[in-house]
């Protein structure tokens, strides 16, 4: 009689309940569900977590926040309780494969849904955070109504260890609050690497305490070209830089979401903002205005000036005191050698090093590699490794360097064959500063080109050209968002979403499970979540 009464009282709740859907983005590797049996999540239930573990307590707090903002249900928090309806538990396990990368193992988790509650289990705290994100995205966007979770199990782990997203804060400056929202989107999609581009010709955005004028003066361009190098300028000074404390706040916020921040100081090219402050570091002596147009400046750091290396060590030394990332991005892309070819200091340095044209690498390209070697040695003394764009291949790779392949996939293939780690980010698939709609006359301005979500979704980071024993050098994939033409947060997130959704399934999901038509169906719920979060996105999916 008591059991009958309980079921009778639950009937109104079940009739009002909305059902959770575990087919989220990115799609988990394995889902089993029995839609005839459910767990009913209602207002006032408890989230349990291990006592004495502030890290998991924080993740449990995230889950409580997510359930409230998504489903409108208020949950209680309790430590050490086995009677809570949602329980977060660390379950250490032996790795089945000793070669499994940390980024894969740490993202592993299981969600078990029974009629009495939900158990989130993982071998690491990061895995529990990934489980929480999946549970969050499975919630229907109902306010204050019970949620029916079909009984079953989700077993999941990411495909790739490196799941990256890039942001350019040099061309246009983004506030710390905007960057935090950006990081929230990365966390929502299972990404674990934030590649932060903070210096370039058009603005130096990182505070160096030993060189205070570098950011104070190097961050400000006197005006900015209108449109695509039209020759017409807005006449308005533009600036802004991040103090080291602000950078530490970004690092802290990212770390709470299990995201590593990889800073990029692009060298030896893309340095005109620095040359504006220290013209003695250029080949011609300047003057060098902070660049007011887009593109690549011929004026780069003088490779024959000993002060150049000292400058870079000062900058990178302070950078490493702020950013704990094992990888430090040194750029290395688009460094014209025009000045070096006519610079007496650079040519003298080439002779001192005994560099000769070997038929494959010019002496100037080898000179850039010599700079990379010096910087790599210095960074290794600080316990760091370098990562660079695929141009770092042109003068011969330094030992231990990771290559970010952007001019197609060939650079990544070449690096993997040389047994170097590779991040695939080819422009044709992963440059999301390009238009994402074919009929773009009414779309916000972009650099041009056409990379729709379907193109990003179709990307396969591991080339068939590689041998089996070479494929493991492909650590993962990344999308890049350059911001010459993106000046406002609404435009920024319009360019990011839903192509971030697309790359997240490339990074996370078994490619045999990918289906673009099914992906578009699942995007509908994701779009409603973006509306709830008040984040802009492109509503046209091509």
Tokens 């949602």 found at: 86
Tokens 């999901």 found at: 509
Tokens at 542, concatenated:
């091509």
Distant-in-sequence contacts of 347-355, Cβ < 8 A, 24+ apart: 347/304, 348/304, 349/303, 349/304, 350/304
Element holding 13 (H helix, E strand): helix 2-16
Pairing of strands 203-204, 402-405: unpaired
Cite the beta strand spans of 317-360 per DSSP E.
327-331
Q: What is the DSSP letter of 94?
A: -
Q: What is the DSSP letter of 80?
A: S
Determine the Cα–Cα distance for residues 156 and 98; give it in Å rounded to an integer.
18
Determine the Cα–Cα distance for residues 422 and 403; give it in Å rounded to an integer.
5
Tokens 């910087």 found at: 375
Determine the Cα–Cα distance for residues 197 and 425; give it in Å rounded to an integer.
15
CA angle 145, 149, 154 (to 5 degrees): 145
Determine the Cα–Cα distance for residues 342 and 116; give it in Å rounded to an integer.
76
Indicate which residues carry an active-site annotation.
200, 270, 334
Identify the three-state secondary structure at position 297.
coil
């Amino acid at each position: 009689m008591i059991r009958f009464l309980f079921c009778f009282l639950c009937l109104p709740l079940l009739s009002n309940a909305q059902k959770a859907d575990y087919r989220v983005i990115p799609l988990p590797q394995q889902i089993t569900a029995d839609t005839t049996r459910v767990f009913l999540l209602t207002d006032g239930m408890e989230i349990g977590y291990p006592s004495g573990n502030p890290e998991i307590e924080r993740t449990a707090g995230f889950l409580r926040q997510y359930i409230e903002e998504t489903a409108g249900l208020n949950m209680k928090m309790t430590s050490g309780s086995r009677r809570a309806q949602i329980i977060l538990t660390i379950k250490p396990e032996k790795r089945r494969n000793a070669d499994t990368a940390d980024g894969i193992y740490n993202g592993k988790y299981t969600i078990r849904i029974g009629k009495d509650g939900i158990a989130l289990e993982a071998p690491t705290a990061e895995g529990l955070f990934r489980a929480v994100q999946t549970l969050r995205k499975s919630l229907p966007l109902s306010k204050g109504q019970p949620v029916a979770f079909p009984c079953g199990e989700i077993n999941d782990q990411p495909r790739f260890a490196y799941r990256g997203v890039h942001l350019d804060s040099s061309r246009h400056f983004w506030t710390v609050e905007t960057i935090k929202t950006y990081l929230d989107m990365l966390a929502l999609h299972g990404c674990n690497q934030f590649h932060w581009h903070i210096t370039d010709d058009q603005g130096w955005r990182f505070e160096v305490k030993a060189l205070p004028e570098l950011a104070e003066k190097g961050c400000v361009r006197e005006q900015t070209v209108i449109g695509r190098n039209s020759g017409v300028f807005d006449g308005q000074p533009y600036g802004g830089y991040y103090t080291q404390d602000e950078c530490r706040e970004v690092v802290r916020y990212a770390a709470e979401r299990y995201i590593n921040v990889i800073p990029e100081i692009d060298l030896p090219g893309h340095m005109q903002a620095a040359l504006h402050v220290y013209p003695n570091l250029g080949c011609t002596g300047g003057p060098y205005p902070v660049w007011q147009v887009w593109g690549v400046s011929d004026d780069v750091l003088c490779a024959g000036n000993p002060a150049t290396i000292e400058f870079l060590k000062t900058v990178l030394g302070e950078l490493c005191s702020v950013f704990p990332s094992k990888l430090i991005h040194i750029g290395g892309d688009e460094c014209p050698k025009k000045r070096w070819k006519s610079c007496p200091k650079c040519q003298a340095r080439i002779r001192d090093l005994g560099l000769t044209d070997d038929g494959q690498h010019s002496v100037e390209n080898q000179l850039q590699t010599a700079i990379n070697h010096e910087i790599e040695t210095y960074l290794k003394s600080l316990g760091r490794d370098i990562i660079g764009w695929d141009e770092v291949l042109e003068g011969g790779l330094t030992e231990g360097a990771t290559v970010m392949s952007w001019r197609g996939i060939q650079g990544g293939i070449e690096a993997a064959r040389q047994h170097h780690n590779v991040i695939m980010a080819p422009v044709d698939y992963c440059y999301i500063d390009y238009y994402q709609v074919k009929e773009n006359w009414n779309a916000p301005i972009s650099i041009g080109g056409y990379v729709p979500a379907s193109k990003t979704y179709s990307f396969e980071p591991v080339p068939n050209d590689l041998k089996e024993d070479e494929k493991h050098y492909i650590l993962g994939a990344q999308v890049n968002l350059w911001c010459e033409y993106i000046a406002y947060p609404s435009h920024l997130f319009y360019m990011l979403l839903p192509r971030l959704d697309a790359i997240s399934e490339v990074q996370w999901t078994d490619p045999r499970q990918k289906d673009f038509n099914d992906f578009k169906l699942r995007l509908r719920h994701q779009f409603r979540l973006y509306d709830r979060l008040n984040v802009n996105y492109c509503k046209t999916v091509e």
